[in-house]
Amino acid sequence: MNSLLKRQSPIQHLFDPTVGQWGELAQAAVVLAFDSEEVESRALQTLALCDVSALPKLGIKGPAAANWLQSQGVTLPEGIYRTRKQSDGSLVVRLSDNEFLLQEGFVSQTIQTLSELLGWGQEGIARVERQEASFLLAGSRALNVLAQTCAIDFRQAPHDRMVMTRIAGISCRVLPTETESKARYQIGVDATYAVSLWESLMTICQELEGRAIGTAIFTARGTI
């Protein structure tokens, strides 16, 4: 949709517009980098938190949803809560037999195209508005951050299965992913709780010498 309006991450106002390098991602202003690439990629290895709310999401449900997605060339994950990364970097989560959550990759256009194709919905397919915020928690100390905020043992969590739980007292959807054989955790949260969650996570990250990083480092890679 090419609207007159900009999309906005619910925590965008937490970042000083004069600090770091800003750019645009899917019609939303984002911080591309807070610091040098070297600093940010080091953080990515140790402990980093990144606001990836700008990545468009699409929810669809209904008896015809699965077939329609497949007909559009989307590879669907088997089994409820399983996730499947597409070749272009976009991500598909199966919420139930006939409900899916799709998230755009950093360079892909798939989800946005699908979204426009779908419009208000079609026979047997309903569109589910998905405006939740999402943060990416990465680095070797990511598990420590989770251990301080969540009662789930993520060391045991498979890297292709969604977890619905509570982090820092807030209901969240956690998508563990694996990149370069390193576990990363994308945390989806109701946009209205985004500020609270970000602030809690960031406090802990900073105590553990982690930092906020921009999206550029992923755009370069094309994927989370």
Q: Count Cβ neighbours within 10 Å for each residue of 98-137 and write b for 16 or more, e otherwise.
A: bbbbbbbbbebebbbebbeebeeeeeebbbbebebbbbbb
Contact 176, 138 (CB under 8 A): no
Residue type, 57: K
**Size of the residue set binding another protein (CB under 8 A):** 56
Among 197, 202, 205, 213, binds another protein (CB under 8 A): 197
Q: Quick check: 150 binds another protein (CB under 8 A)?
A: yes
Q: Quick check: 122 binds another protein (CB under 8 A)?
A: no
Q: Quick check: 123 binds another protein (CB under 8 A)?
A: no
* Dihedral angle over CA of 63, 162, 128, 49, nearest 10: -160
Q: Quick check: 209 binds another protein (CB under 8 A)?
A: no
Among 165, 177, 215, 223, binds another protein (CB under 8 A): 165
The nearer residue to another protein, 42 or 143, going by C-beta atoms, is 143
Binding mask 41-80 for another protein (x = CB under 8 A): ------------x-------xx-----------------x
Contact 34, 212 (CB under 8 A): yes
Contact 69, 124 (CB under 8 A): no
- The footprint of another protein (CB under 8 A) covers 1-10, 13, 28, 53, 61-62, 80-81, 120, 126, 128-132, 144, 147-153, 155-156, 163-166, 168-173, 190-197, 200, 203-204, 207
